[in-house]
Chains A and B, each alone.
Chain A
């Protein structure tokens, strides 16, 4: 519990963070930037888990534990994403989205 801060304010913060992440995901044209935006989205949800655990069900730890798992998965995901980015760079010398449009039509 944070003195004087209700759950609404914290949820507002995470919502804004989440949508900033989505905005970045949609507007950036670079794979690493997209990765950064995804991290932001993930973090916003992690905070949500923790806050809800703390404010609504303080006597259990599920939210915290899930946050730990999310962080672990995020770490794995980032490692793989970086590996893919590097591999892609070695193949087409670019990590721009516009160069990876093979799914077209």
Chain B
């Protein structure tokens, strides 16, 4: 059938099963929005207040649903506003397709109104990007974009579509199958490597499973649980790996790395074998790469061959989908070495060094998060922001299911939580969605409160307000003799009042006595609600491994 480019985009989106779009219109996508208008209700349009918010929302949507998040924005500033969102998704391997309008092909390169070279700009932060220069290429390019975004190691793909391409007519044929000679993600691990891995696992006396985002977002969490349980393997996670739950407390040792648990980090430093699943060994996990897991052999399972040996040497790389590798691991003989002593050593440490904080007259942020954990159901989706609040969520919230912690792990994007929570609620309306942000990050995308109101989304929010950019302040306390350069924010607005003005229920809590009631009320609320928690301004995240230090040099006091 003959149709214009804009119609082809809509048809292609329908063929890809897209039913939600995060989009803001503009000059170079008017034909496309016209077709979306004519198309009616099969595709729901979510209009955020800023393109960055929209991109993070699509990211949050992708994280909870496992589908590809789709963003449509206009050229120039519309496109450049998505950049932080795209970079964020790229670092955390989240599948997005970002469609940007572009000035007509005849004007490209003339510095036309609202022209920006978004292909050039996003080159290093996308998995792939395409400029469509002829309407005949449009359908196949979109097909490729969706295929690349979701397959292998997922990531954001940008498709730049000049406005005249949207207007030009052509015959619409959507390719049923796409084959890219130069792109073949490896699904199955090498059988010989897997065999060797199984031997290593069987021979290990102090094994440790390290779980990362690759497990969480490939829906392999259940397999990890089964694997750990069947072979009596203790498990730790990276920030992106939270959600694994072997079902036995003596096998679970929480997060590791800079603000990981003392016992988790101890386990890493004393294990003789680390089975690393879907991790990329970021600097926040490694501490000092030269002293990371000094006595361990590392089996590194990841779908991206470039991650093998990038940040740390692995003794046995397995390139493949974590799930497919785990299924083979699960077939191994379950008669392995006895790990009881190793596990009881870890259990002793876990009992001796739980996450803890000193109580004083102030409301403690950790207390608020503990309460949230207590009163919110186990399948609550928590969108954390970045900084101290993020680390406290990781420490005090126990995630027992995959795709439940949404956090900007790689890029560390402040302002991520609120829009991500919006995307999560849209993608998963049946689950409670709880946003936890600090005062700094919350204000970086605070305009999206209006999006919550506009679509009547039941998003619960806690703003941990310590009137500082807390994590930076903590480093300044540690390294700069308390010279709090540019981190104070004593003039924060009353966030509860802001929420109310927008039409969102809100309350303020500033003393320990009121904490429980307010969080209970938040959890019970049938509509969106915000709790503005004024907390101890100089509370620190502990324990802490200073950047670049070995994981066993962990500070428990400042």
B and A form one assembly: no
Residues of B bordering A, CB below 8 Å? none
Residues of A bordering B, CB below 8 Å? none
